[in-house]
Amino acid sequence: MKFKLGCDLEYKILEETVFIFNFQVAKLQRHKALTDSLTLKPDLPVVDYTVPDLQNRYIRVLAQPGDFSVHYTAEVDLHVHRADPTGVREMDVRDLPLDILPQLLPSRFVPSDRLADFAYREFGDFPRGYERVSAICSWIYQNIDYRRGSSNSETTATEILIRRAGVCRDFAHLGIAFCRALGIPARLVSCYAFGLSPADFHAVFEAYLDGRWWLFDATRQAALDGLVRIGVGRDAAEIAFSTPFGLMEAGPINIWIERADGEPEPTPRTTDAISTEEPAPNAGAA
């Protein structure tokens, strides 16, 4: 599917501020024919850095006091990999590539080391594989309220289990937490999500099954084959769309994504297993 998308960010800079941004579409193989354009006002110099393997694109900008705005647009032809979920097997830790193991470890917002008992109680008896991660998503969907403003930038997955309310990043953090607690590598994905209403940066997660990363969205708010990836990381700490160092006020944000291929509105939600990345190279595999 071809998409047009973009975002507009506005800031009032009070004192010199360094921004690290991560809102550009990742340069994945499955993001075909990607073209994009970035406009800053004023037109400041940009330092960019693309993370090897992950392909997250970070830029750094030094903004001086006054108004500062960012305008980004992109076009991309998203070719997802599809599979029958029933054939997607779970892997044993003895078979995982060793470079993927960090995605089994607890992180700032995902203290999965504290959830082993919980995870095995709730999900230990499910058939291992895609189905088990789907069961995790269903549990989250049924037990957590999606509620704007119910969490903040410090909220962890365990806190969500107590409060029973959160937003997309909290749903994803909790999915990651249960996966890691069960021995399934998992990581956070930020993206432009076709069909998400209202439009916003979206967060979903990926679990590593059967030799590749598969997308999951416990919020059920967007189709898995309409997610254009920005970044992946262990949790939200790594892939904030904007990390400012300095004194400034953030203004309104505008995010959008639409079909660019003249196709009619979306078909029914896919039930396929969806991946947007190639199988991981087997660094350190047996």
Q: Are 13 and 64 in contact (CB under 8 A)?
A: yes
Q: Does residue 117 interact with its own copies by CB under 8 A?
A: yes
Q: How many residues in total does the chain contain?
A: 286
The 8 Å CB, 24+ separation contacts for 142-146 are 144/170, 144/171, 144/174, 144/218, 146/171, 146/219, 146/221
Q: Does residue 153 interact with its own copies by CB under 8 A?
A: yes
Q: By CB under 8 A, how many residues form the interface with its own copies?
A: 46
Q: Which is nearer to its own copies, 33 or 285 (CB)?
A: 285
Q: Which is nearer to its own copies, 92 or 261 (CB)?
A: 92
Q: Does residue 105 interact with its own copies by CB under 8 A?
A: yes
Q: Does residue 98 interact with its own copies by CB under 8 A?
A: yes
Among 200, 230, 222, smallest CA distance to 266 is for 222
The set of residues, in sequence order, having a beta carbon less than 8 Å from that of 127 and lying 6+ positions away, is: none
Task: Please pick, from the candidates 183, 195, 211, 266, the single residue that binds its own copies as defined by CB under 8 A.
Answer: 183
Q: Which is nearer to its own copies, 33 or 93 (CB)?
A: 93
Question: 62 - beta bridge partners?
Answer: 18
Q: Which is nearer to its own copies, 270 or 282 (CB)?
A: 282
Looking up tokens 């993927």, which residue turns up?
100
Among 44, 93, 89, smallest CA distance to 68 is for 44
Q: Does residue 285 interact with its own copies by CB under 8 A?
A: yes
| CB 147 to its own copies: min, Å | 9
Looking up tokens 């340069």, which residue turns up?
27
Site string for its own copies, 38-77 (x = CB under 8 A): ---------xxx-x------x-x-x---------------
Among 4, 15, 9, smallest CA distance to 63 is for 15
Binding site for its own copies (CB under 8 A): 18, 20, 47-49, 51, 58, 60, 62, 92-94, 98-99, 101-102, 105-108, 110-111, 113-115, 117-118, 121, 143, 145, 153-154, 158, 161-165, 183, 237-238, 245, 283-286
